[in-house]
Structure 1
Amino acid sequence: MRNDVKLILLDKHQVEALSKPDDVVEAVREAFALHSAGEGRVFPVVREALVTGGVFGIKSGDVQSQGLLGFKAAGFWPANRGVGGEPHQATIMLIDPKTGRPVCVIDGNAITTMRTGAAGALGLTLFARADSTRLCVFGTGVQARVQVTFALRVLKQLSSIRYVTVDAQRDASFEAHFTGHCEVSHATDHNAAVAESDVVITATPGFGPLFNAAAVRPGTHLNCVGADTKGKRELPEGLLMRSRVFVDDRTQAREIGETQWAPGTVSIEIGDVITGRVQTNRQPDDITLFDMTGIALQDLTVARLLHQRACETSTATSLAWPW
């Protein structure tokens, strides 16, 4: 038995220091392509409510040909806000598929933020109109900010951002974060904000429909982030049937994403577009929609990238982990 084995640990600050946006986008692109090719497996999601008021989940998967195996244990604990903590909590573990031994434990919050932002960037690149100039975002939290940040990277003509808050109040911090990149304004009329936008991003807790279906004009693209659990939704009744719907995983989207509300919705997996198995042929008046539930392979390909980079730069913390 080996007694010199090390377990690599990467905390939030190390993950953020090692994460380069373009590299994360490519890792997420690879995850979707592996999924499309059948090389990357996504195991059934665990998602359960707790008596503490939290929700606990596990997303796991592997790429057998690459020796990649692992999981993310994550969830949402709203009471954390009362003690000054982050309600979203996640931890990722990479495992040696030959032995079952843990290889690396990583702060999952930072990876989840980046890989979801990167998925959003791919959705915009592949499905939004290239001439999109006006963006509307619902939410001003961590995920809303990263989605807008990636949108500014890929939509070069973007000139205005309208944001909608749950409490209908301005968010000075959000405005300051993006002022200087383009015009930023607070919107109180949800439907008008949607109707006047080329791209709509929904990044809320998913407590219910955010706007009316009739507000979405032909040619609009929507990136939808908030529906990731049974019972959650952000989109209104009837919008899916008017849209060309793209998802990260068809089965998962039906179970915990927006298509749980319309299981018969025809959808295309983004990986099939990336690999060329499906051509989008977007028309100017198409309403396109990317429902992002987040798949384990995104977490694993990004975690592997960061693990490799940490080892190369000797920036990781390591612990003796004999067996």
Structure 2
Amino acid sequence: MTRFLRKVPLDSGKPTAMPCDATLLLLDKHHVEALLSKDAVLAAVQESFELHSDRLGRVFPVVREALPTGGVFGIKSGDVPSQGLLGFKAAGFWPANRAVGGEPHQATVVLIDPGTGRPTCIIDGNAITTARTGAAGALGLRLLARPDTASACVFGTGVQARVQLDFALDTLPGITQVRYVTRDGRRDPAFEAVFAGRCAISLAADSNAAVASSHLIITATPGREVLFDVSAVQPGTHLNCVGADTRGKRELPDGLLARARIVVDDLAQARQIGECQWLPEAACIELGDLLCGKAALQREPADITVFDMTGLALQDLTVARQLQRAALATGQGTRLPWAW
């Protein structure tokens, strides 16, 4: 019996491995954390928004479903045909993991050869998700937040709250005062310790008062209930909203979106699973269109702006590809025979 051998021109720029000697690259969390850099992630995420705006990158319909176990499982996938980039991220939220000392957010990214459908790289996606969402938030701040932003209020103290604040302090170095809000109203010394040398950080005694006195609001919670009153949001405030990424989830109060100028990562996704599901008729601008100059948003001093982040598959794929290239260049990762 004759085996199928894929013929690939040597100058095509594509892998020349035949089915009998194909390999699969595995990158675990330690590899990913060693290879990630803020600048590279920012560049990859910006590229993903620009590809999306130019319709060179496709975002396929999101799968996001509740499980009988209490978890939420999702798949985000897409491709960039002109670059031979194809893949998906299987991810979700399993709150019961906390009870055994585990991270509730779980994600795995798979890159696939678009010519054959064979996987080329499997990557622990937790750090990718954290970093690329933080980078997306930073791009939103560059375009939307007041340049004189000096105070911030953060809802949540988990991994996403940390990375959002980390990128915010890099992007808006004028931030000197940070207040944070926890679910149980208790201090989180570990969260404070991460940022103690970069700003004055303290637990907010009253969430509405903290919102009212802050130029920037970051919401990074599981997103099942409104976090503050609409009257607390003052003119000139910017909000980066991370938690609403599933039908029925929300963090913002009724009436806020109607007062705000709204930017989204993807219009269809935002109206389906983001904060905009609660006001789907609201006028929105996609961030990629702002980055590419196809749209403009001239912020007035009294404007309230909202960046509704639901997460693009293209963000995961461009960052994963950067990690794959870095691993191959440095010899990191585990290579497995993957004959077919």
Task: State TM-score, norm by structure 2.
Answer: 0.94
1:151-300 mapped onto 2 (5 Å cutoff): 151-300=168-317
Shift of 1:129: 0.6
**Among residues 22, 25, 28, which one is paired with 1:5 in the alignment?**
22
1:78-157 mapped onto 2 (5 Å cutoff): 78-157=95-174
Counting matched residue pairs gives: 323
Amino acid at match of 1:144: A
What 5-or-longer segments of structure 2 have no aligned partner? 6-18
Residues 145-182 of structure 1, C-alpha deviations (whole Å, 9 max, x = no match): 00000011110211111101110001111111100101
Q: Which secondary structure does the structure 2 equivalent of 1:192 belong to?
A: helix
Aligned residues: CA RMSD: 0.7
Residues 85-107 of structure 1, C-alpha deviations (whole Å, 9 max, x = no match): 11111100000000101010000
Amino acid at match of 1:175: E
Amino acid at match of 1:121: A
Amino acid at match of 1:44: P
Shift of 1:188: 2.2
Aligned equivalents of 1:127, 1:4: Cα separation in 2: 50
Aligned equivalents of 2:64, 2:81: Cα separation in 1: 25
What 5-or-longer segments of structure 1 have no aligned partner? none
Q: Which secondary structure does the structure 1 equivalent of 2:52 belong to?
A: helix
Aligned equivalents of 2:333, 2:291: Cα separation in 1: 33
Task: State TM-score, norm by structure 1.
Answer: 0.99
State yes or no: 1:24 paired with 2:41: yes
Shift of 1:13: 1.2
Amino acid at match of 1:194: V
Point out 4+ residue stretches in structure 1 off by more than 2 angstroms: none
Amino acid at match of 2:324: H
Residues 74-122 of structure 1, C-alpha deviations (whole Å, 9 max, x = no match): 1111121222211111100000000101010000111000000000100
Aligned equivalents of 2:194, 2:136: Cα separation in 1: 21
Residues 40-82 of structure 1, C-alpha deviations (whole Å, 9 max, x = no match): 1000001111111111110000000100000000111112122
Stretch deviating more after TM superposition (46-55 or 123-132): 46-55
Amino acid at match of 1:176: A
Q: Which secondary structure does the structure 1 equivalent of 2:20 belong to?
A: coil
Percent same amino acid at aligned positions?
66
Amino acid at match of 2:236: G
Aligned equivalents of 1:80, 1:242: Cα separation in 2: 38
Aligned equivalents of 1:37, 1:19: Cα separation in 2: 26
Amino acid at match of 2:39: D
Shift of 1:322: 0.6
State yes or no: 1:49 paired with 2:66: yes
Q: State the match for 1:33 in structure 2.
A: 50
Shift of 1:34: 0.4
Larger Rg: 2
Aligned equivalents of 1:256, 1:120: Cα separation in 2: 18
